[in-house]
Amino acid sequence: MPGEHVLAMRNITKTFPGVQALSHVDFTLRSGEIHALMGENGAGKSTLIKVLTGVEEFESGEITLLGEKGEIINHSPQEAQARGISTVYQEVNLCPNLSVAENLFIGREPRRAGMIDWKTMNRKAKELLKGLKIEIDVTKAIENYSIALQQMIAIARAVDMSAKVLILDEPTSSLDDSEVEKLFKLMKRLKSEGVGIIFVTHFLEQVYEVCDRITVLRNGCLVGEYETEKLPRVQLVAKMMGKDFDDLASIKKEKEEGKVREDIVIDAHGIGHQGSIKPYDLKIHKGEVVGLTGLLGSGRSELARSLYGADKPDSGELKVNGTHVTVNKPLDAMMAGMAYLPENRKEEGIVADLSVRDNLILALQAKRGMFHLIGKKEQEELAEEYVKILQIKTASLDTPIKSLSGGNQQKVILGRWLLTNPEFLILDEPTRGIDVGTKTEIQKLVVKLAEEGKSVMFISSEVEEMLRTCTRMAVLRDGEKVGELEEHELDQNQIMKAIAGGGADE
């Protein structure tokens, strides 16, 4: 039963320095519907929501809201809230030091004679949560409760603010099945009360369970709006991943590999990290490019991190070239011949204020040790060499890396690791957010490295790219490695099915 339009966003455009985050995006929400907002990392989902809730400003476009005259622009979350747009974020936005009741009512506490009426507040909090079948001590600080419960409380708060529009930004990632069930019941109830709900999630099953409509974004552009019933799951994945299903099927593999691989470089057994990746086994041979595939949040990066010691694994054992290795911290992994290009270039990759040269030699320097400074001349030579090899465009070696373009920054970090002459490289989204030309260069480089006998773990949200580079793939779903695809199985159909998981064949 589609209601009237409660929210309409038209032609929304937003640019971050160097990136077009949103380009002429339309989005329509009807009252009494649950509308899924889907897309891979960097598709622009969160930016769209931030623009709507006033966390970010947008350049052009218009937003209209039922009951408000003309266009509206929210300058802050407060303003959005005052207009009836409530948001629950993936990271719980509650104050850990305050009690449950306070978190529910802060800013609108019941008062008596000007003073906060704690008794009434606690009673109301209790009643509110009872409606959600949550019975806890509302006077205790919220940090004493699990993340899942905190998430439910955040939702309860948003709902109780009597919203016209309720935005749930990946609220289920920390909930278990029964909690998700509770949440869905609540969502359905709100829907029947006429609230429009925007639901952002990466769990396909949940989308098909509760959502009426799906809007898909990719690379900051609108792919389309669909009715859930009319969009099969495999097609949804294809739309998110960048190729129309039919197109993808028609592309042939460009590479031919027939060698039987014998030398096992990495042999992981039962390695896991509580809360992020369940124990997995993985063997990687010499000269192989292993792709990790799965949707956002499926545990791709987490698997890589646990292997490299970025998150200290709490189970399992690792053999590198047949010898036992204990990896407690990244340096251990580096010493064993590993290299890791992190997913988040800005926060974990570049050292922004330092020069290109310093950024290039840092990892090698760390490997050599604190008291063996690489001489100025050697630094210069090494840096120049790799600037040339990787065709890094920089004014000089002394230019701070932050003034380089994203693609060139990524090349510097690649160069940083190549300098350490690793046997095994982990590349987590090496091509994200960089221009097409550099993208191809990096893909070629990966293939070349493999030909030279190095092993590579390649993580990407783009299936096409993975098909070009990978010789084998591991499939992840919900923080678990669920299977592997051998070389002959590598085609779009198989991958999409594997990613989509159960129900893909329907």
Partner 1 sequence: MKKMGKIDGKVFLLIITIVLFLAMYLAGVIIFNSKGFAKPQVFLNLFISNAGLIVIAAGMTMVMITGGIDISVGSVVALTCMMLAWMMEVKGVGAVPALIIVLIMGLVFGLVQGFLIAYLKLQPFIVTLAGMFFARGMTAIISQEMISVKNELFLQWAKSKINLTFLGGTINKKGVVNYPFIYPSVIIALIVLVLVFVLLKYTKFGRTVYAVGGSEQSALMMGLNVRRTKLYVYVINGFLCSLGGFLFCLNTCAGFVEQAKGFEMEAIASAVIGGTLLTGGVGNVFGSLFGVLIKGTIETFITFQGTLSSWWTKITIAALLAFFIILQSLFAKAKEKR
Partner 2 sequence: MNKFMGYYKKLTGARLFLPLFCLVLVLLSNLIKTPGFFEVTIKNGVLYGYIIDVINRASDLVILAVGMTLVVAASGGTDISVGAVMSVAGAVCCFILAGGQQSVNAFQNPYLLGVLAAVIAGILCGCFNGFLVAKMKIQPMVATLILFTAGRGIAQLITKGQITYIRVESYKMLGSSIPGIPIPTPVFVALIVVILTYVLLKKTTLGLYIQTVGINPKASRLMGINSPMIIFLSYVFCGLCAGISGLVASSRIYSADANNIGLNLELDAILAVALGGNSLGGGKFSLLGSVIGAYTIQALSTTLYAMGVSPDQIPVYKAAVVVVIVALQSTELKRIVKRLQTERAAGKKVA
Q: Which of 4, 59, 137, 244 lies at the binding interface for partner 1 (CB under 8 A)?
A: 137
Q: Which of 161, 362, 382, 397 lies at the binding interface for partner 2 (CB under 8 A)?
A: 362
Considering beta carbons, is residue 81 or 219 the nearer one to partner 1? 81
- Number of H helices and E strands in the chain, helices first, is 17, 21
Alpha carbon of 140 to those of 98, 159, 174, 244: distances in Å?
Answer: 8, 21, 21, 51
CB contact at 8 A, 55 and 42:
no
Structure tokens at 446: 């990966």
Interface of this chain with partner 1, residues 99 to 118, rule: CB under 8 A: 102-103, 106-107, 109, 111, 114-116, 118
Q: Which of 4, 75, 131, 144 lies at the binding interface for partner 1 (CB under 8 A)?
A: 144
Q: Is 220 in the site for partner 2 (CB under 8 A)?
A: no
SS3 7: strand
Binding mask 398-417 for partner 2 (x = CB under 8 A): ------------------x-
Place of tokens 């419960």: 149
The number of beta carbons lying within 10 Å of the beta carbon of residue 22 is: 30
Interface of this chain with partner 2, residues 6 to 45, rule: CB under 8 A: none
Backbone angles phi, psi at 102, to 5 degrees: -65, -40
Q: Is 1 in the site for partner 1 (CB under 8 A)?
A: no
Q: Is 348 in the site for partner 2 (CB under 8 A)?
A: yes
Choices 259-267, 283-291, 363-371, 481-489 (CB under 8 A): range interacting with partner 2? 363-371
Q: Is 51 in the site for partner 2 (CB under 8 A)?
A: no
Question: Max Cα separation, the chain?
Answer: 82
For 376-460, strand residue ranges (E) read 424-428, 455-459
Residues 6+ apart with CB under 8 A from 333: 307, 308, 309, 327, 340
Q: Is 94 in the site for partner 1 (CB under 8 A)?
A: yes
Interface of this chain with partner 2, residues 303 to 322, rule: CB under 8 A: 308, 310
Q: Alpha-carbon distance 153 to 450, whole Å?
A: 49
Q: Is 78 in the site for partner 1 (CB under 8 A)?
A: yes
Choices 10-18, 243-251, 263-271, 369-377 (CB under 8 A): range interacting with partner 2? 369-377
Q: Which of 15, 60, 93, 326 lies at the binding interface for partner 1 (CB under 8 A)?
A: 93
Helix axes 147-160, 118-130, angle to 10 degrees: 100
The nearest distance, CB 360 to partner 2, in angstroms, is 11
Residues that bind partner 1 (CB under 8 A): 76-78, 81-82, 87, 89, 92-98, 102-103, 106-107, 109, 111, 114-116, 118-119, 122, 137, 139-141, 143-144, 157
